[in-house]
Amino acid sequence: MTHSLVTKYNVPGPRYTSYPTVPFWDDATFCLKKWKETLKRSFQESNKKEGISLYIHLPFCESMCTFCGCTKRITKNHSVELPYIQAVLKELRMYKEVFGERPIIQQLHLGGGTPTFFSPEHLESLLNGIFHIAQRGTKCEFSFEGHPNNTTREHLKTLVSFGFTRVCYGVQDYNETVQKAIHRIQSFENVKKVTKDARDLGYTSVGHDIIFGLPFQTKSHVKNTILKTIQLMPDRIAFYSYAHVPWLKGNGQRGYRDEDLPTAEEKREQYEIGKELLLDAGYIEIGMDHFALKSDSLYKAQEEHNIHRNFMGYASSKTQMMLGLGVSAISDSWYGFAQNVKGLSEYHHLIENDILPILKGHILTEEDLIVRKHILNLMCHFETSWKNESEYFPELPEVLFKLKELEDDGLVSISQDKIKVTTTGKAFVRNICLPFDLRLQRNKPETKLFSMTV
């Protein structure tokens, strides 16, 4: 990959876990009544056929990891666990009232924050409560994010007893200097232990998250981290770019300077080194910044064209509805999005008063739904088509005109009714999606909203 391509295409851009992206939601026309209508419509269309996905945001962490841009509450006070679980379960009951019947949970993901901040006993209470309100699906995919330093064998045993088969550990980097900068100190031995524990207890997919582009990180650091990771051969690996967004309120990324970060060219070299090592070790590139062994369900989903992307990242199966519970969680009815309030006290107050804790949202237009499918196709399958009339939209010729330059640079190939991302273009898939992002194109932000694409 040439230096000129990296320089040319290193611009701010969304990661496209949704379309429209959150900064361009039309909150002015959104209301709770419209949101509930989209929920009912989607639930009636899909619950009995495929069930729903459930994301639960568990926001508590004992210490601040400065690379993280997620909503979290730093505390060592574990008395917060039970009241929060009770609030989340009440929120689920409120949604069940909207649906009119029990939802069928096909996918369930515990994210954070640090889900393993919660004791195994309290996680058991949470899950017992969920399956008292909702029904377990027949082809479940349950997963959680584990911190290598505090995920105990009891955590793993408790969750596997409820049908959890996938765990993802946040590794980031094994270099001590980098770990100190991002305030995430953990040893290879800890990661090795929890990876082995999960496999011993029956987890069929163990994932590791690795980040490149971190402060003080070098190519040798990335190489060392990847080589250590290959010793453990996790089933899937998220190998993604650090998103430097220090302008976000309360973000710990203000603790280091821009000059402490690798340049765009250095970041891309870090990625190319890591990618080559992973491919040589037998991993297959999946979607954007993800790799999986051929035995993993994510690889099989890509081969069968079933892979999906939403606010939980890439998934090996798709449900039309994804319900998000807890502070800051985002729900997706397919026809609309809604995000919960981010403040813990406000969340508890609204739940106590029987009010869905929605902060903002967006109801998708017909145009949004068409564009959303194209962006999803590019992010999941590296291609999209407008063979059918329902896949066409009036601005498509303008989009193709903007993509011509990317075609000239060897990033895409464009035919009469199809776009395909080239091997080189996979590293620039966010850039390839940008011309399709009509809301971004029409409302160019004056201030920076997104991390850099490279």
The answer to whether the beta carbons of residues 332 and 22 sit under 8 Å apart is no
Indicate whether 448 pLDDT > 70.
no
Confidence check: pLDDT of 2 > 70: no
pLDDT at 356: 98
Question: Is the pLDDT higher at 86 or at 447?
Answer: 86
pTM: 0.93
pLDDT in tens, 10-58: 888 898 999 999 999 999 999 999 999 999 999 999 999 999 999 999 9
φ/ψ bin of 282: left (φ > 0), alpha (ψ from -120 to 50), beta (otherwise):
left
Could you report the per-residue pLDDT of 162-178, keeping only the tens digit for each?
999 999 999 999 999 99
Structure tokens belonging to residue 115:
């889900």
CATH fold, domain 366-442, is Arc Repressor Mutant, subunit A (1.10.10)
Kindly tell me if the per-residue pLDDT of 1 is higher than 60. Answer: no
Q: Check residue 443 and give its pLDDT.
A: 87
Residues 55, 43: Cα–Cα separation, whole Å:
16
Residue 312's pLDDT band (boundaries 50, 70, 90)? Answer: confident
Residues of the chain with CATH 1.10.10.920: 366-442
Residue type, 396: L
Q: CA 445 from chain center: how many Å? A: 23
Looking at residue 447, what is its pLDDT?
A: 64
Could you give the CA distance from residue 157 to residue 160 in angstroms, rounded to a whole number? 5
The ranges of the chain annotated as CATH 3.80.30.20 are 22-363
How would residue 6 be classed by pLDDT, with cut points 50, 70 and 90?
Answer: confident
Q: Which residues contact 242 (CB under 8 A, 6 or more apart)?
A: 67, 211, 212, 213, 214, 261
> What is the predicted pLDDT for the residue at 249?
46
Question: Mind listing the pLDDT tens digit for each residue in 92-143?
Answer: 999 999 999 999 999 999 999 999 999 999 999 999 999 999 999 988 999 9
Q: What is the mean pLDDT of the chain?
A: 93
Read off the DSSP letter of residue 392: -
- Helix (H) and strand (E) counts in the chain: 15, 19
Residue 427 confidence class, pLDDT cut points 50, 70, 90: confident
pLDDT in tens, 238-293: 999 998 766 554 455 555 778 899 988 899 899 999 999 999 999 999 988 899 99
Mean pLDDT of 350-369: 98
> Where in 213-351 does DSSP place strands (E)?
236-241, 284-286, 290-292, 308-310, 313-315, 322-325, 330-332, 336-340
Q: How far apart are CA 242 and CA 213, in angstroms?
A: 5
Q: What is the pLDDT of residue 253?
A: 54
How far is the CA of 92 from the CAs of 36, 119, 323, 452, in angstroms?
14, 21, 9, 36
The model's pLDDT over 180-214, given as tens digits with 9 standing for 90+, comes to 999 999 999 999 999 999 999 999 999 999 999 99
Distance CA 97, CA 356 (A): 11
Architecture of domain 22-363: Alpha-Beta Horseshoe (3.80)
